Amino acid sequence: MPAALPFWKTKRLDEMSAAEWESLCDGCGRCCLHKLLDEDTGRLAFTNVSCRLLDTENCRCRDYDRRQARVPDCVNLTPEVLAGINWLPPSCAYRRLSEGKELAWWHPLVSGNPETVHMAGVSVRGRAIDERVAGALEDHIVAWPGRNPRRRSRN
């Protein structure tokens, strides 16, 4: 008897339970980096400056349940909101699935290991600067959060 397909292959994003939706987060922390929008050109620039609530070692929010009260511009990502967002990194599971792509090999749901996102060089671990010490965001513009990670070995 063949094994059942995982939920992310059988359900649309708007059909997933809250637990399934939350499990899609790979724990990279890229979405918690500040972005700058040039209002004249519409160009988006990524920075390596993290939200003050992001624990840059484990790449998770320190106060996830109250994040929007503490950081008013924090986006509550939902299937409805996803369609109007242009700043999720190309490696993001929510973005990948909404674009009809597969989850990457390093995604914890695929690998079975939450460390693979870090081992593959996808996360902000070791690359992010806390907003409380960063200074001017313009001094921290980087390209890597808006790019797919370089291909690394699965080992």
110-150, pLDDT tens digit by residue?
Answer: 999 999 999 999 999 999 999 999 999 999 999 999 998 77
- Output the furthest CA–CA distance in the chain (Å, rounded): 58
Tens digits of residue pLDDT in 12-35 = 999 999 999 999 999 999 999 999
Rounded to 10 degrees, the C-alpha dihedral 68/74/75/77 comes to: -70
Q: Which of 130, 102, 136 is nearest to 33 (CA)?
A: 130
The answer to pTM > 0.85 is yes
Residue 155 reports pLDDT greater than 80:
no
Q: What are phi and psi of 152, to 5 degrees?
A: -120, 165
- Please measure the distance between the N-terminal and C-terminal CA atoms of the chain and give it in whole angstroms: 30
Q: CB of 67 within 8 A of CB of 74?
A: yes
Rounded to an integer, what distance in angstroms lies between the CA atom of residue 101 and that of residue 114? 20
Which residue is associated with the tokens 């994003």?
13
- Average pLDDT of the chain, as a whole number: 93
The pLDDT confidence band at residue 154, using thresholds 50, 70 and 90, is: low
The pLDDT confidence band at residue 68, using thresholds 50, 70 and 90, is: very high
